Amino acid sequence: MNPSVEMMKNMPMSDTSVMSGMDMMAMQNLVDAASACMQACTMCSDAMAGMDGMGTCAAVCANCADVCSTMMRMMLRPMGMERDSLMAMLEACITICRVCRDECSTHIGMSEACAMCATACDACMTACQDMLSAMQTPAA
Amino acid sequence: MNPSVEMMKNMPMSDTSVMSGMDMMAMQNLVDAASACMQACTMCSDAMAGMDGMGTCAAVCANCADVCSTMMRMMLRPMGMERDSLMAMLEACITICRVCRDECSTHIGMSEACAMCATACDACMTACQDMLSAMQTPAA
Amino acid sequence: MNPSVEMMKNMPMSDTSVMSGMDMMAMQNLVDAASACMQACTMCSDAMAGMDGMGTCAAVCANCADVCSTMMRMMLRPMGMERDSLMAMLEACITICRVCRDECSTHIGMSEACAMCATACDACMTACQDMLSAMQTPAA
Amino acid sequence: MNPSVEMMKNMPMSDTSVMSGMDMMAMQNLVDAASACMQACTMCSDAMAGMDGMGTCAAVCANCADVCSTMMRMMLRPMGMERDSLMAMLEACITICRVCRDECSTHIGMSEACAMCATACDACMTACQDMLSAMQTPAA
C-alpha cells in the first residue's frame, strides 16, 4: 500500500457516507493509475510536440495530464469529499482518458511514447470506473 | 477583449467543427470567469484553512480551484478541442462550482472571502452553461 | 483593482512581516501578469506543438505556464506567506519567463502566438522583479 | 524502474548537454520523490485545514504540493530541458520542501499526517539536491 493510502486511512473526513462504500484497494489503484497516467501523458505530449503533424495528439495528452492531476488531488482531500463532485470528475476523467487513449492508439506503430501513454490512459479509465462502481454500491 | 481570446482567434485548430458553433464572447467570458473563480477559490481555501471548523469549506474550495484551472487550460488548447472532452469537463466544472457556491453561501454572514468566492463560483457556473449551450447549438 | 487583490486586503496572514514591505499595486500587477502569462504560454505551447520543428518552444512554454500558475497560487495564499519560499519561487519564475521570452523571441517573425507570448513573459518577469524588490525593501 | 523513466530513456531532447551529466537513477528518484511529496502535502494540507490553528501549515503544504507538481512536470518534458530553468526550479523546490518539512516537524507529536509529510518533504529535498549535483558534474 502506498503512503498516500496509508495516510488516508487515518484522516478526518467531512462526509463519511461518501467513503463508506469505498473500496480502499480501488482508491489505491485510482491514485496510482492517475499518477502514472499524468506522467505518461506529460511525456507523450512533450514527445508529440516535437514531431511533425502530431499537434492534436500533444494537446489531447496535455489535457489528459491536467485532468488526471486534478482528479487525483480531489481524491487526496478527504475533507472535501462530496458525492456529486467526485462522480462528475470521475466521469470527466473517464471521457478524457478514453479520447487520449483512442488518439494515441492510432500512433502506436510509430511511437513508443504513444503506446505507453495509451496503456496508462486505459488503466486510469478502468480505475475511475471501478471507483465509480464502488461509490454506487451501498455499504454493507 | 482579453489577449487570450485575441490569440485564440488566430490559432490553428484540430477540429473546426467543435468551434464552429462557439460564441467567441462566451469563450472570453468563460476564460475570464474561470480565472477569477480559480483565484477566489484559492484565496478562500487559504482563509478557511485558518478558521476553526471550516476544513470542509477549505477542501471544497481547493477542489474547485483545481477544476477551474484545468477546465480553463483545456479551453486554451485549440489543437486539442474535442467535443466529448470539453463537454464532460464543462459538466464537471458546473457541478463542482455549484457545490462550492452552496458551501460558501452558508458562511456569507461570517466571511467576506466566502461571499466573494460564492459570487465567483456562480459566475463561472453560468459561463460554463453558456459555453455548453453554444456548443450544442448547430452552426448557422 | 481586481477582486483577488480586494479579497487579499481583508485576509488573515501567518507572517505579517513578509507582507509589511509589500506594495499592493505590485501584488495586483503580479497576479494579473502571471495569469496573463500562464494563458499566453498555454496557448503558445498548443500552437507550437502543431508546427513542424517547434517542439522545444512548445515544451518551454508548457514549463512556463506551470511555473506562473504555481507562483500565482502561492501569492494567493496569505496564510502560507514565508519570505524564503516566496523569494525562491519568484527567482525561479523570473528565470523561466526569461528563457521562454528568449525562445519565443526567435520566432516572432513567423508566429503571432510567439510574439504575444514573449510580451506576456517579459511583463511577468518585470512584475516578479518588482515584487522581489518590494519584499527586500524594509517597511517604513 | 518506473514507466516514466522507461519512457524518458527513449525520448528526443532539445538539449542533450543538459542530460548528458544526468544520473538516470537520480532522475527516477526525483520523479518518484516529487510525486510522493505532492501526494503527502495535498493530504496533509487537507487534514490541517480541518484542525484548529493549523492554517499556516495547511497553506505551506498547499504551496509545496503545487511546487513539487510543477517541478516534476518540468522533469517529464525532455524537449524543454534547459539548464538555467531546471536549476532555478530545483532550487525553489528545495527551499519550499525545507520550509514545509520544518513547519510539519513542529506538529509531529500531534499529527500523523505531518509526520508522514515531513518525511516526504525531506526525501524530495534530498532528491532535488542529488539532481542538482548530477547536473553540475561534468559528463565523463
Which residues span the domain enclosing A94? 23-135
Query: For A79, which DSSP code?
Result: G
Residue C1 pLDDT greater than 60, yes or no:
no
- DSSP one-letter string for D48-82: HHTSTT-HHHHHHHHHHHHHHHHHHHHHT-GGG--
Mean pLDDT for A7-13 is 69
Q: Rounded distance, CA C8 to CA A28, Å?
A: 37
CA atoms within 13 A on the CB side of A136: 10
Contact B76 C43 (CB under 8 A): yes
What does the block give as the cell for A39? 506522467
For C52, the closest of A52, A58, A62 (CB atoms) is: A52
Mean pLDDT of chain C: 90
Residue D3 lies in a domain: no
The pLDDT confidence band at residue B135, using thresholds 50, 70 and 90, is: confident
User: What sign results for the dihedral spanned by CA atoms B70, B74, B76, B77?
Assistant: positive
Q: Could you tell me if B14 and B78 are in contact, meaning their C-beta atoms sit under 8 angstroms apart? A: yes
The answer to whether position D41 is within a domain reads yes
* Residue A1 pLDDT greater than 50, yes or no: no
pLDDT given for residue D61 in this prediction:
98
Alpha-carbon distance C44 to C32, whole Å?
A: 18
Residue D11 included in any domain: no
Question: Chains touching chain B at 3 or more Cβ pairs under 8 angstroms?
Answer: A, C, D
Q: Which amino acid is at D51?
A: M
Kindly list the distances between the CA atom of residue D112 and the CA atoms of A21, B43, B56, D85, in Å, as whole numbers in the listed order.
24, 26, 19, 35
Q: Which DSSP letter does residue C2 get? A: -
In a domain, A114, yes or no: yes
Residues of chain C contacting residue D84, judged by C-beta atoms under 8 Å apart: 95, 99
- Those residues whose C-beta lies under 8 Å from the C-beta of residue D76, and which sit 6 or more positions away, are A39, A42, A43, A46, D4, D8, D31
C53, A51: Cβ pair inside 8 Å?
no
How many folded domains does chain B comprise? Answer: 1
Whole-prediction pTM: 0.94
B86 vs A17, which has greater pLDDT? Answer: B86
Annotate D15-51 with b (16+ C-beta within 10 A) or e (fewer).
eeebbeebeeebbbbbbbbbbbbbbbbbbbbbbbbbb
Per-residue HEC secondary structure of C60-122 comes to HHHHHHHHHHHHHHHHCCHHHCCHHHHHHHHHHHHHHHHHHHHHHHCCCCCCHHHHHHHHHHH
| Nearest-by-Cβ selection for D56 from C58, C63, C79 | C79
Residue B2 has φ and ψ, to the nearest 5°, of -75, 160
Dist CA B126 CA A30 (whole Å): 31
Give B25's pLDDT tier (boundaries 50, 70, 90): confident
**CA-closest candidate to residue C11, choices C24, C29, C26:** C24
Give D1's pLDDT tier (boundaries 50, 70, 90): very low
Numbers of helices and strands, H then E, in chain D: 6, 0
Judged by CB atoms closer than 8 Å, whether chains meet at B55 and D45 is answered as no
Residues of chain D with a CB closer than 8 angstroms to some CB in chain A: 2-4, 6-8, 10-12, 14, 31, 35-36, 39-40, 42-44, 46-47, 49-50, 65, 69, 72-73, 76-80, 112-113, 116, 120
Q: How many angstroms separate the CA atoms of A7 and A15, rounded?
A: 17
Q: Which of B60, B70, B79 sits opposite A80 (nearest CB)?
A: B60
What pLDDT is stored for residue C14 in this prediction?
Answer: 60
User: CA C34, C37, C39: angle at the middle one, nearest 5?
Assistant: 110
Inter-chain contact B78–C43, Cβ cutoff 8 Å?
yes
pLDDT, tens digit (0-9, with 9 covering 90-100), for C6-30: 777 666 666 566 766 567 788 889 9
C-alpha cell recorded at residue D43: 493530504
CA A95, CA B91: separation in Å to the nearest integer?
Answer: 12
Helix (H, G, I), strand (E, B) or coil at A83: helix
Query: Which parts of B50-111 fold into alpha helices (H)?
Result: 55-75, 83-105
**Segment A73-131, tens digit of pLDDT:** 999 999 999 999 999 999 999 999 999 999 999 999 999 999 999 999 999 999 999 99
DSSP state of D23: -
**Which residue, B35, B14, B36, is CA-closest to A63?**
B14
B36·C3 Cβ contact <8 A? yes
For residue D14, being part of any structural domain is answered with no
Distance from CA of C139 to the nearest CA of B (A): 24
The answer to whether D95 and D64 are in contact (CB under 8 A) is no
Lowest mean pLDDT among A8-17, D61-70, D102-111, D125-134: A8-17
Cα-Cα-Cα-Cα dihedral sign, residues A118, A120, A123, A127:
negative
- Note whether residue D59 is domain-resident: yes
Q: What is the pLDDT of residue A137?
A: 72
Q: Which percentage of chain D shows pLDDT scores above 90?
A: 74
Q: Which amino acid is at A139?
A: A
Burial of B12 (0-12, 13-18, 19+ CB in 10 A): middle
Q: State the cell numbers at D6.
A: 522507461
Is D53 domain-assigned? yes
Whether residue A44 is contained in a domain is answered as yes
Model confidence pLDDT, tens digit, residues C89-98: 999 999 999 9
User: Residue type for B117, please?
Assistant: C
C76/B49 touch (CB, cutoff 8 Å), yes or no: no
Please name the residue of chain D whose CA is at the shortest distance from the CA of residue B60.
D46
Q: Compute the distance between CA of residue A55 and CA of residue A97 in angstroms, rounded to an integer.
A: 17
Stretch among A27-36, C61-70, D18-27 having the lowest mean pLDDT: D18-27
Contact D85 C62 (CB under 8 A): no
Q: Which of B4, B30, B61 would best serve as a mutation to test chain C binding (most C beta carbons within 10 A)?
A: B4
Q: Which of B24-33, B102-111, D45-54 has the lowest mean pLDDT?
A: B24-33
Contact C7 B35 (CB under 8 A): no
Residue bearing cell 478526518: A12
Rounded CA-CA distance B111/C9 in Å is 13
Q: What percent of chain C has pLDDT over 90?
A: 74
Query: Is D109:C126 a contact under the CB 8 Å cutoff?
Result: no
pLDDT digits (tens, 9 = 90+) for B85-106: 999 999 999 999 999 999 999 9
- For an interface test with B, give the residue of D41, D52, D66, D103 to mutate (most B CBs within 10 A): D52
**Average predicted confidence (pLDDT) for chain A:** 90
Cell of C124: 511577468
**Does residue D21 have a pLDDT over 90?**
no
Cell output for B106: 452558508
Residue of B44, B50, B73 lying closest to C42 (CB–CB): B73
Look up the CATH number of the domain holding residue B59. 1.20.1270.360
C3 pLDDT exceeds 70? no
